[in-house]
Chains A and B, each alone.
Chain A
Amino acid sequence: MDFFGNLGLGLQTALSLTNVFYCFVGVFLGTLLGVIPGIGVLAAISMLFPITFHMEPTSALIMLAGIWYGTSYGGSTASILLNVPGTPANAVVCLDGYPMAQQGRGAVALFMTTVASFVGGSIGIVILTLFAPVIAQYALSMGSAEYFSLMLLGLVAATGIADGSAVKGFVMVMLGIFLGGIGTDVYTGTQRFAFGIPELGDGISLVALAMGVFGVAELIISVGSVKGKRFESSDLTLRAMKPTRDDMKRSWRPMLRGSGIGSFFGALPGTGPSLAAFIAYAIEKRTARDPSRFGKGAIEGITAPESANNAADQTSFIPTLALGIPGSPTMALMLGALIIHGITPGPGLMTEQPSLFWGLVMSFWIGNVLLVILNVPLIGIWVRLLAVPYHLLFPAVLMFICLGTYSVNNSTFDVLLVMVFGALGVGMRKLAFPAAPLILGFVLGPMMEDHFRRAMLLSSGEFATFVQRPISATLLAITAALVLWSTLSALRARRRSTSQ
């Protein structure tokens, strides 16, 4: 089918009543959970993940994706009004958004972040539409060795770039791969680390792991720390939102630059919206004629990172859908939703399931338009929500986690796993072990083992196959360079801190 035929098919799928409904549910919940600090996008998606078991795969993905990019829109609200980031990707918006709110320009800031989000999202969708099919075409010629190397690159990138100790990140990857390997070995049928427990023979459920490590752990930490914070109640009428001509003139270039930066970092496996937003902010500050304005309510300081994180939200679907390789834990959950519905992610997805792929992509347009409506005329609702005390919210969130997990298999074992992983998650946070690499390792681990064993089988047990094949060798070289770079910069940072 030709390009425009595909777009038409996608539009037709996305515009069906059911899918528009689920798209709305997704972006609505995304905004809702994005606005509430303490519930990040991963917790949000893992909480709603079980519901998708009862849905059509296309609708399920449309809804999950809506939550994903919806939280980026909603997250900036808390950043601007409370100086508390709704999600990590919006953290950088606090720097200039909160000062704007204090100067009585909170409404303008909310409006401009929505505009910037829409611009970033749109550019991201266009790039996704143009590049994903090309990459998938190219990926059809990749073998197991290439896949293994690419996933290794993704894991190393995700771990090396994340803040904190790289060693701790790699420990988490290993633990994730170990947990992912529990259950029946596909080649021999051997039960690995099941210890005679029948539920473990089927493997640990991704839902239980994600809900525990992200959802429950986040709740436990937030109950102690998120106390009702008061905010400046600014005038949030449409008239107050109108930006000045100077605001617009200053903003459009940063938005375009931010979108470009976001699109690039979103598509790279392992990096994502948070990093993209930080880099976009840093670049604006460095290239500004008067950098001292930043941190005091510079409009560029909110529009550039908001464009970047929304563009990254969209382009992160490129490796996920074109290669079947999730670049972030959230994308891993999306792939998990596909796999549970019996759909194999990978370069064949676009040709085998054109209505799913193109329907999802076209739903992004609908979702972004809905988000503009939700975030400009209806902003007052979300702001009022920030006043709901947290101690009423967390039992509701916990009910959703418990019942959601239970609903997947009617299994209390999974609910107990959530409890165990919740405790693990709290321990990990206290000891500064990052949680994202754990989920990535859990999802990528079994796929990597499979490709590794297959590649070794084909090469008669020669490790050289990974460096003799040009694509695989290139990927491994990038991986090695990344490891070297992060080791060197860690050493340099340590030397600097000891010399001071």
Chain B
Amino acid sequence: MLNRDIVDIFTGLALAVFGLVIALYASSHYQLGTLQRMGPGMVPMGIGAITALLGALLAGGGALRPRVALSGIEWRPLLAILGGILTFAIAVPRVGLAPAIATMTLVTSLADRQLRLKTVALLIVFLVLAAIVIFRLALGMNIPIVRWAF
């Protein structure tokens, strides 16, 4: 078992469970209707069932194949960039555009070790100006540049 393609077996099984959950949820919460007059649950149930089937196929295929090495995830860029998006989403409605871009750039720049603080500061100034020109002046959007809303 351990020398088989474990990655495919696990993702396949996970997908099969996911598909079954969708199918069961759809059929128990939404009306199925008849073939002629389908309710809102019919198509999601079908999609869930097909997903479950494909998941099983994938797992079965994985069991027939030898193990394949999986390239690891580089956590630093992943967390820095997702974190940057998160800080932007939290900051923009509360403190406005400029601080949101600044915090986003700060967090995001952690993805790459090569960035120095001075470069980041210059980058922030440039990006805030670019955002104001493109989104506020050219596209006429109404996001406050700085605000305080807690």
CB atoms of B93 and A426 under 8 A apart:
no
- With contact pairs A167-B57, A460-B36 given, residues A412 and B81 touching in the complex (Cβ less than 8 Å): no
| Chain A residue nearest in CB terms to B54 | A171
Name the interface residues of B5-32: CB closer than 8 Å to any CB of A.
7, 11, 15, 19, 22, 25-26, 30-31
- With contact pairs A223-B81, A403-B135 given, residues A178 and B86 touching in the complex (Cβ less than 8 Å): no
CB atoms of B36 and A426 under 8 A apart:
no
CB atoms of A415 and B85 under 8 A apart:
yes
* Tally of A interface residues using CB under 8 Å: 57
| Chain A residue nearest in CB terms to B105 | A395
CB atoms of A392 and B127 under 8 A apart:
no
State A45–B47 Cα separation when bound (angstroms).
Answer: 29
CB atoms of A181 and B74 under 8 A apart:
no
Q: Convert B34-45 into 0s and 1s, putting 1 for each residue whose CB lies closer than 8 angstroms to a CB of A.
A: 111111101110
Q: Which residues of B contact A (CB under 8 A)?
A: 7, 11, 15, 19, 22, 25-26, 30-31, 34-40, 42-44, 47-48, 50-51, 54-55, 57-58, 61, 70-71, 73-74, 76-78, 81-82, 84-86, 88-90, 92-93, 97, 101, 104-105, 108-109, 111-112, 114-115, 119, 123, 126-127, 130-131, 135, 139-141, 143
- With contact pairs A174-B51, A407-B139 given, residues A188 and B39 touching in the complex (Cβ less than 8 Å): yes
- Collect the chain A residues with CB atoms within 8 Å of residue B51's CB: 171, 174-175, 178
CB distance from B25 to the nearest CB of A (A): 8
CB distance from A499 to the nearest CB of B (A): 15
- Collect the chain A residues with CB atoms within 8 Å of residue B37's CB: 457
Q: Does A220 have its Cβ within 8 Å of any Cβ on chain B?
A: yes
CB atoms of B92 and A394 under 8 A apart:
no
Q: Convert A410-421 into 0s and 1s, putting 1 for each residue whose CB lies closer than 8 angstroms to a CB of B.
A: 101001101100
Q: Which residues of A contact B (CB under 8 A)?
A: 51, 54, 165, 167-168, 170-171, 174-175, 177-178, 181, 185, 187-188, 190, 192-193, 216, 219-220, 223-224, 389-392, 394-396, 398-399, 401-403, 406-407, 410, 412, 415-416, 418-419, 422-423, 426, 430-431, 449, 452-453, 456-457, 459-461, 463
- With contact pairs A178-B44, A412-B89 given, residues A396 and B70 touching in the complex (Cβ less than 8 Å): no
- Collect the chain A residues with CB atoms within 8 Å of residue B123's CB: 392, 395-396
19 inter-chain pairs at a CB distance below 8 angstroms, sorted by A residue, are A165-B58, A175-B51, A188-B40, A192-B26, A192-B40, A220-B78, A220-B81, A223-B77, A391-B115, A392-B123, A396-B126, A398-B108, A403-B101, A410-B143, A412-B89, A412-B92, A416-B86, A457-B36, A459-B36
State A416–B89 Cα separation when bound (angstroms).
Answer: 7
CB atoms of B82 and A430 under 8 A apart:
no
The 10 closest A-B pairs by CB, nearest first: A461-B36, A461-B35, A185-B40, A223-B77, A415-B89, A391-B112, A190-B40, A224-B74, A419-B85, A402-B88
State A363–B14 Cα separation when bound (angstroms).
Answer: 48
- With contact pairs A403-B131, A461-B34, A461-B36 given, residues A419 and B82 touching in the complex (Cβ less than 8 Å): yes
State A449–B85 Cα separation when bound (angstroms).
Answer: 33
CB atoms of A422 and B85 under 8 A apart:
yes
- With contact pairs A398-B81, A412-B92, A423-B82 given, residues A452 and B43 touching in the complex (Cβ less than 8 Å): yes
